[in-house]
Amino acid sequence: MVRTEKNGPVTTVVLSRFERRNAVDRPTAQALADAFRAFDADPGASVAVLWGEGGTFCAGADLKAVAEGVIPRLEPDGDGPMGPSRLELSKPVIAAVSGYAVAGGLELACWADLRVAEDDAVLGVFCRRWGVPLIDGGTVRLPRLIGLSRAMDLILTGRPVPAAEALAMGLVNRVVGKGQARAAAEAWAKELAAFPQACLRADFQSARRAFESAPDDALRAEFARGRPVLEAESLAGARTFAQGAGRHGSFER
């Protein structure tokens, strides 16, 4: 159903219900949320990847299970119906999208901080056809990611969005070949994990909070998070730079 695989500082959370195209029922939602809580609490984990096994990222909520009486969690507080969609983690998550990321699956991809999609991937609000609303952050995160006009197009029409268009509109960050999403996301995660983590997490949280606050509040929060990092990590980084590292744009340290 859900398993976690660790490789050094990179944690990959695998959604494995490929017989249901990785549609999420209530137990799966709980398992996903628990997996990401464990990742966030793990001091040895820096970046997570969310990947759907079997060629599909996630087809959304398991409507067959709903029809059989297995109702998802529908409470205003706590975990969302899809599981981790209300969690605010202290570390980045990268969605590795293959096949379809639709309906609640699109909401999970939007919940992640970065998205890598395979070139034949399709994203969309497919639940529009069935009268199922976006209640896992889709109406909140889509406008922030791609702007209100584009978000309205996707939300109201439910149309399929191919990977190339998703990249052009900023819905995904990178497009890779078929079957390469997981490896590409894990390689990217490894790159992020190699940076000084207190600084990365401070900037990560400040950027995310900037959308939730007035500009003055966001600037103050940015400074408050960054100031301790200057003492903890930035001085050492400055010394490394002064010794000749990082010339000509190199990321070697």
Judge if 95 and 213 occupy the same domain.
no
Q: What is the pLDDT of residue 84?
A: 97
Q: What is the pLDDT of residue 205?
A: 94
Judge if 47 and 99 occupy the same domain.
yes
What tens digit of pLDDT does each residue of 190-249 get? 999 999 999 999 999 999 888 776 767 766 776 787 778 766 765 676 677 668 776 656
Judge if 212 and 114 occupy the same domain.
no
pLDDT at residue 130 tops 90: no
Q: What is the pLDDT of residue 240?
A: 72
Judge if 84 and 104 occupy the same domain.
yes
Point out the domain boundary residue: 193, 210, 233.
193
Q: What is the pLDDT of residue 250?
A: 63
Judge if 105 and 220 occupy the same domain.
no
Judge if 156 and 201 occupy the same domain.
no
What tens digit of pLDDT does each residue of 28-45 get? 999 999 999 999 999 999
Q: What is the pLDDT of residue 251?
A: 60
Query: Considering the chain, what is the average pLDDT of its residues?
Result: 91
pLDDT at residue 189 tops 90: yes
69: CATH? 3.90.226.10
Judge if 216 and 135 occupy the same domain.
no
Q: Token pair 């207190």 is at which residue?
A: 198
Judge if 56 and 144 occupy the same domain.
yes
Residue bearing the bigger pLDDT, 98 or 233: 98
Q: Which residues span the domain enclosing 119?
A: 2-193
Burial of 100 (0-12, 13-18, 19+ CB in 10 A): buried
What tens digit of pLDDT does each residue of 169-188 get? 999 999 999 999 999 999 99
Point out the domain boundary residue: 147, 172, 193.
193
Q: What is the pTM of this model?
A: 0.90
Judge if 97 and 206 occupy the same domain.
no
Judge if 117 and 36 occupy the same domain.
yes
Q: What is the pLDDT of residue 173?
A: 99
Judge if 145 and 208 occupy the same domain.
no
Percent of the chain, pLDDT > 90? Answer: 71
Q: What is the pLDDT of residue 249?
A: 60
Q: What is the pLDDT of residue 72?
A: 82
Q: What is the pLDDT of residue 138?
A: 94
Domain count, the chain: 2
Judge if 132 and 56 occupy the same domain.
yes
What tens digit of pLDDT does each residue of 47-88 get? 999 999 999 999 999 988 877 877 788 888 889 999 999 999
